[in-house]
């Protein structure tokens, strides 16, 4: 079982990788460096089989960009800290789910702030299930506080960048400033399935499946949602083996 926080350092320059390694050694000695690389291809191969907690990702790599890498992956669970010499990449980094981004040359204080932000996000994600006082309820944080919601009343969840919208059986919706991934693992224990990068559905509220390249589902709230081609076989297998 993974006990230490694991990070990957992806930078096209050896000096860049060495500097981040040194900062981690000096400021966060309990963090383990699991992998280092300088190319999109090597990083892609590693990330298809491993899920580091934190990914330091240089925007410009030997054989492409960080955004080329992310477009090849189905999804990524890591906290991503982008590294770039150009500030205009910041908006694109944020759109790609950046925890933070660091401008070269990296300043130590900025590095510490970014890593602490990633560690805090990791801690929050692990505590989602613990935040619910009842195993059949989930606590959804709002601007006013939180709403304790019956999981059975959630029809579906929809991702919108760093926000998630929960659609309930009474036609109300709750917008939460957390990513869909933050809830996916916990809710999967309650018969939820992610049919698309945007959609996590409660299979108990599934009404109909329409065949197609990926297909579509119709939910009990009459919403019609796409099933991604990549998720189709796993989804149909899940339906076939539902208890």
pLDDT at 208: 94
Whether 127 has a pLDDT exceeding 90, the answer reads: no
pLDDT at 1: 41
Top-confidence residue, 155 or 136: 155
Whether 135 has a pLDDT exceeding 80, the answer reads: no
Q: How far apart are CA 214 and CA 235, in angstroms?
A: 10
User: Would you state the structure tokens that stand for residue 62, as one six-digit string?
Assistant: 């030997």
User: Would you state the structure tokens that stand for residue 34, as one six-digit string?
Assistant: 């699991």
- Per-domain residue ranges of the chain: 6-126, 130-240
Are 215 and 227 in contact by the 8 Å Cβ rule? The answer is yes
Top-confidence residue, 211 or 142: 211
Mean pLDDT computed over every residue of the chain: 87
**DSSP secondary structure letters along 55-115:** EEEESEETTEEHHHHHHHSS---SEEEEEES-GGGHHHHHHTTEEEEEESSPPHHHHHHHH
Per residue in 181-237, pLDDT (tens digit) is: 888 888 988 999 999 999 999 999 999 999 999 999 999 999 999 999 999 999 998
Q: How far apart are CA 63 and CA 240, in angstroms?
A: 42
Numbers of helices and strands, H then E, in the chain: 7, 17
Whether 88 has a pLDDT exceeding 80, the answer reads: no
Mean pLDDT of 87-92: 65
Mean pLDDT of 61-88: 85
Q: How far apart are CA 39 and CA 13, in angstroms?
A: 10
Maximal CA-CA distance, the chain: 56
Top-confidence residue, 223 or 130: 223
Q: How far apart are CA 67 and CA 70, in angstroms?
A: 5
Q: How far apart are CA 35 and CA 28, in angstroms?
A: 16
Peptide bond into 54 cis (omega under 30): no
pLDDT at 29: 92
Whether 143 has a pLDDT exceeding 50, the answer reads: yes
Top-confidence residue, 237 or 141: 237
Are 66 and 73 in contact by the 8 Å Cβ rule? The answer is no
Domain 130-240 carries which CATH code? 2.40.50.1020
**Residues contacting residue 56 through CB under 8 Å, at least 6 positions apart:** 7, 8, 9, 10, 11, 20, 81, 83
Q: Where on the phi/psi map is residue 195: left (φ > 0), alpha (ψ -120 to 50), or beta? A: alpha
For the chain, the helix, strand and coil percentages under 3-state DSSP, each to the nearest 5: 35, 35, 30
pLDDT at 130: 47
pLDDT at 92: 63
Q: How far apart are CA 130 and CA 117, in angstroms?
A: 20
Q: Beta strands of 161-240 (E only): which ranges?
A: 163-168, 173-176, 192-196, 199-202, 206-210, 216-219, 224-226
Q: How confident is the model at residue 80 (pLDDT cuts 50, 70, 90)?
A: very high
**Partners of residue 145 on adjacent β-strands:** 142
Whether 54 has a pLDDT exceeding 60, the answer reads: yes
Q: How far apart are CA 162 and CA 77, in angstroms?
A: 13
pLDDT at 31: 94
Domain 6-126 carries which CATH code? 3.40.50.2300
């Amino acid at each position: 079982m993974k006990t230490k926080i694991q990070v990957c350092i992806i930078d096209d320059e050896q000096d860049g990788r060495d500097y981040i390694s040194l900062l981690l050694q000096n400021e966060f000695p309990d963090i383990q460096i699991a992998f280092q690389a300088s190319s999109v291809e090597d990083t892609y191969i590693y990330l298809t089989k491993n899920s580091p907690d934190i990914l330091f990702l240089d925007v410009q790599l030997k054989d492409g960009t960080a955004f080329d890498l992310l477009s090849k992956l189905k999804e990524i669970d890591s906290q991503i800290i982008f590294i770039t010499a150009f500030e205009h990449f910041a908006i694109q980094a944020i759109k790609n789910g950046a925890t933070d981004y660091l401008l070269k040359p990296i300043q130590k204080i900025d590095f510490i702030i970014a890593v602490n932000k990633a560690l805090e996000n990791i801690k929050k994600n692990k505590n989602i299930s613990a935040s619910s006082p009842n195993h059949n309820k989930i606590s959804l944080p709002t601007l006013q506080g939180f709403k304790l919601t019956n999981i059975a009343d959630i029809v579906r969840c929809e991702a919108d960048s760093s926000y998630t919208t929960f659609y309930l059986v009474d036609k109300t919706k709750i917008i939460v400033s957390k990513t869909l991934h933050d809830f996916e693992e916990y809710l999967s224990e309650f018969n939820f399935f992610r049919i698309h990068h945007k959609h996590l559905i409660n299979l108990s509220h599934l009404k109909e499946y329409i065949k197609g390249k990926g297909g579509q589902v119709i939910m009990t709230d009459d919403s019609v949602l796409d099933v991604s081609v990549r998720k189709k076989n796993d989804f149909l297998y899940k339906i076939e083996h539902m208890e």
